[in-house]
Structure 1
Amino acid sequence: MTVLNLVKIPITTIDLSPGSHVLIPNVTWEQYETLLTDLGADRRIPRINYCEGTLDIMSPLPAHERPHRMIADIVKALLDAQDHPPTWPLRRMLPQEPP
């Protein structure tokens, strides 16, 4: 289970009401990938995004969920058919970290 240093609780226990979101700064790419693994591939809500060290956890309104889910399923199927993990395109674009 992933525990981010800033939150002090297991991030998997955060429960957001529909339409709300939380931004968590200073998160590493490795923490983000571990969190995605911990939550599982079948997780739909909350949506979790990562951008330049900031983790965005969002619980969309039900009316917005269905179209996004269909597009996400198509992208996942294409990546899976090519044996790429869901974060594969992003990893290629990230700058290399120093050893």
Structure 2
Amino acid sequence: MFLQQGSLLLSFDPEKTCDVTLPHWEPRARQVQALREKVTYLYEHLPRSVTREDVCISFIEAFQTGWQVSLAEGLLTAGGEKLKDHLLATKYKDLAAILPCRNDERHKVGEVF
């Protein structure tokens, strides 16, 4: 499971976004241009050959380097489970009811849901 603040867009299509979120908004061209100016995405800054898996691996490597920790794939440790439960009960208590990670479900580290 990845926990992060905000979202990282790999790609972005301002025209499709306008079609979905602002279908009747006029003038459409101005809204599309505003989205182009305000929204950035990873493929805009990196080669198109970068895959979602490449991005995930890079995040894991950067996290390990930056925090000087070693991540291992598998189930959470007892300490990790305890920390998860504490965070769900305190910091994320308003989200706990809608998150798919419950006390009776064990998710693997690195699993995206």
What range is the shorter-chain TM-score in?
under 0.3
TM-score norm. by structure 1 comes to 0.25
Q: Flag the structure with higher helix content.
A: 2
Q: Which of structures 1 and 2 has the bigger CA Rg?
A: 2
Higher RCO (CA 8 Å, separation ≥ 6 residues)? 2
Q: Flag the structure with higher strand content.
A: 1
